[in-house]
């Protein structure tokens, strides 16, 4: 220690403490809390959540025990798809605040030991993006080939049969160029042409902008949609028995095709290598990709995450679709992924801003929906992989049932009433049951706050050990206390009926995990070599007895193996 005199004041100066090296592997096994900014917290009374609102509520997120936040898009946008139609990759939409507000979120999150990941929408832009305005102006301007343009078929119809997820053809006629442009989503979301190297460079430069600003990583929207087949071949039909409705609802004809030419193209692998190389310039940065492919989801995740040279992790829609999670399905999905992606890494999720909330999607017919949701959460926190947790799931919020006149989502408006869209899972977060709009906003919220949500607000669950909120806190603390649950290997055990059982192992720690997803009593007999000593701290109600694990309805058990 040394001292220096400055006027009359004596100030002690110390050599700065050495900073630990960044944990480049923090993402492996991390729990990532997704924030949908429009609906998290409004700070200025306009009824729309914003960055300062996120700043206000970061202590709640930190109190859960998660490792990172993922913030859905807050970039400048005309909001046709609520921020997933970007008009400026390097600025904040005034609706959400300013770049300085975002800097404040990063600083506070880091103070609370939370990593910050942001949503990058690279596959398409808004039709109001300057790039597209220039591209559509003529066929020979500098950005004429930055989007996917094609001449019509001889009869004037689109060049092929590709469909938009949001309904209808994936091609929109443009009168300026007298050509069609491609849009996998809304017509106001034209697809970028990744076959053009200049497009890739521009997107990597936008990514670097946020890396320089201090983000810890990215969630990559529709990561398998970046490339299309340059030959524009029509997709073949998909037999009815092969259709899977996890990516699009059953009423959407998008499910009628095998999407082999308009997405999940092999050319994407080289771009992802370039993207990873950029991230690797910044120690400890990571990316998780969203893979929307009902037929080949796990194989795509394997290709994108294997070998350590593309993205760090991906999630597919295996547990996000309408098919209920079962013991058999959990084992089948995890073992399939382990077989096709031995060196890959998945990020599991049962909910997000695009699907019906778990409390409504899977609890029908369950004797105790509250207990069922708890055991599903405990199982999710125990699987090999990272986890995405969507805001409000820690409260057990059900899907909001909104009137047609309250809908904002163009997807739901298009397919109403058989499919009501995504607004039901995007209603405002409920904080305080005693405050107007449950503490979300002093103004009229952009979507209604359901009355049944108010009784589940944070303040009503805080400190109640039987609540969903405290269950999540216990399970997240339990997970963090056991490295085998975070990064360990997994080996499934033989089990019957509704029981899922497996070992997790890392170094000297071996845990046996068992979960009963059913409403009846269950047991799991163990051979002598798998006798384990119960590990407390999770609050689940299974027990070990005479060489077997006894599991009541929706019960779980953890044991330490020698």
Tens-digit pLDDT profile for residues 475-517 = 999 999 999 999 999 999 999 999 999 999 999 999 999 999 9
Mean pLDDT, rounded, for 401-412: 95
Instruction: Report the C-alpha gap between 394 and 476 in whole angstroms.
Output: 11
pLDDT of residue 8: 34
CA distance 235 to 562: 54
Q: What is the pLDDT of residue 12?
A: 38
pLDDT of residue 527: 87
Length of the chain: 562
pLDDT at 22 over 80: no
> What's the pLDDT band for 247 if we cut at 50, 70, 90?
confident
pLDDT of residue 368: 98
Say whether 281 is catalytic.
yes
pLDDT tens-place string over residues 316-354: 999 999 989 999 999 999 999 999 988 999 999 999 999
Distance of alpha carbon 168 from the chain centroid: 26
Give one DSSP letter per residue of 52-112, joined into a string: HHHHHHHHHHHHHT-SEEEEPP-EE---TTTTSS-SEEEEE-TTT--HHHHHHHHHHHHHT
| Active-site option among 67, 221, 393, 498 | 221
Q: Specify whether domain 31-123+208-365+388-480 bears CATH 3.20.20.80.
A: yes
Does 371 score more than 90 pLDDT?
yes
Assess whether pLDDT exceeds 90 at residue 288.
Answer: yes
The pLDDT value given to residue 444: 98
* pLDDT mean across residues, the chain: 94
Beta strands per DSSP E along 335-467: 347-348, 386-390
Q: Which residues contact 72 (CB under 8 A, 6 or more apart)?
A: 34, 35, 36, 37, 83, 119, 353
Delimit the domains of the chain by residue range: 31-123+208-365+388-480, 481-561
> 188: helix, coil or strand?
coil
**162: Cα within 13 Å, side-chain hemisphere:** 27
Catalytic residue selected from 12, 140, 241, 281? 281
The CATH number for 481-561, chosen from 2.60.40.1180, 3.40.50.300, 3.40.50.10490, 2.40.110.10, is 2.60.40.1180
Going by their DSSP bridges, the two strands 532-534 and 556-561 should be labelled as: antiparallel
Residues 418 and 250: their CA atoms lie apart, in Å, by 9
Q: Residue 221 catalytic?
A: yes
**CA pair distance 509, 35, nearest whole angstrom:** 33
């Amino acid at each position: 220690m040394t001292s220096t005199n400055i006027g009359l004041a004596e100030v002690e100066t110390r050599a700065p403490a050495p900073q630990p090296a960044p944990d480049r592997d923090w993402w492996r096994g991390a729990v990532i809390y997704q924030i949908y900014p429009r609906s998290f917290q409004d700070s200025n009374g306009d009824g729309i959540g914003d960055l300062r609102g996120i700043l206000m509520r970061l202590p709640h997120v930190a109190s859960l025990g998660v490792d990172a936040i993922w913030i859905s898009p807050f970039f400048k946008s005309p909001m046709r798809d609520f921020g997933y139609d970007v008009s400026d990759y390097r600025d904040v939409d005034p609706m959400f605040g300013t770049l300085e507000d975002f800097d404040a979120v990063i600083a506070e999150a880091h103070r609370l030991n939370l990593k910050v990941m942001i949503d990058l929408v690279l596959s398409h832009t808004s039709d109001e993006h300057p790039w597209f305005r220039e591209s559509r102006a003529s066929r020979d301007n500098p950005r004429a080939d930055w989007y996917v343009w094609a001449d019509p078929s001889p009869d004037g119809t689109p060049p092929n049969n590709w469909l938009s997820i949001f309904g209808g053809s994936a091609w929109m006629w443009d009168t300026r160029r007298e050509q069609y442009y491609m849009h996998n989503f809304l017509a106001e979301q034209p697809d970028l042409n990744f076959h053009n190297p200049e497009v890739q460079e521009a997107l990597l430069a936008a990514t670097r902008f946020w890396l320089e600003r201090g983000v810890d990583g990215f969630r990559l929207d529709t990561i398998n949609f970046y490339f299309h087949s340059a030959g524009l071949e029509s997709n073949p039909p998909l037999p009815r028995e092969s259709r899977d409705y996890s990516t699009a609802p059953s009423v959407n004809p998008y499910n009628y095709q095998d999407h082999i030419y308009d997405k999940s193209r092999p050319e994407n692998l080289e771009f992802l290598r370039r993207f990873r190389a950029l991230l690797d310039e910044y120690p400890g940065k990571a990316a998780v990709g969203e893979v929307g492919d009902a037929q080949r989801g796990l194989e795509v995740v394997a290709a994108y995450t294997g070998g350590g040279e593309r993205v760090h992790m991906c999630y597919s829609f295996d547990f996000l679709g309408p098919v209920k999670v079962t013991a058999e399905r959990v084992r089948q999905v995890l073992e399939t992924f382990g077989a096709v992606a031995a060196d890959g890494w998945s990020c599991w999720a049962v909910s997000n801003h695009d699907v019906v909330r778990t409390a409504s999607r899977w609890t029908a017919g369950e004797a105790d929906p509250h207990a069922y949701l708890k055991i599903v959460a405990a199982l999710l926190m125990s699987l090999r992989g990272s986890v995405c947790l969507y805001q409000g799931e820690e409260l057990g919020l059900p899907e909001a049932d909104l009137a047609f006149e309250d809908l904002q989502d163009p997807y739901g408006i298009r397919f109403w009433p058989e499919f009501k869209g995504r607004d039901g899972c995007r209603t405002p977060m409920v904080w305080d049951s005693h405050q107007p709009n449950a503490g979300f906003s002093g103004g009229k919220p952009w979507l209604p706050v359901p009355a049944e949500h108010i009784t589940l607000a944070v303040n009503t669950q805080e400190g109640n050990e039987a609540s969903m909120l405290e269950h999540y806190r216990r399970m997240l603390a339990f997970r963090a206390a056991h490295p085998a649950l975070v990064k360990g290997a997994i080996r499934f055990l033989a089990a019957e009926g509704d029981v899922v059982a497996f070992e997790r192992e890392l170094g000297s720690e071996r845990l046996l995990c068992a979960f009963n997803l059913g409403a009846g009593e269950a047991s799991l007999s163990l051979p002598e070599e798998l006798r384990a000593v119960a590990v407390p701290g999770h609050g689940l109600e299974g027990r070990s007895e005479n060489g077997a694990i006894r599991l009541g309805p929706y019960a779980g058990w953890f044991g330490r193996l020698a």
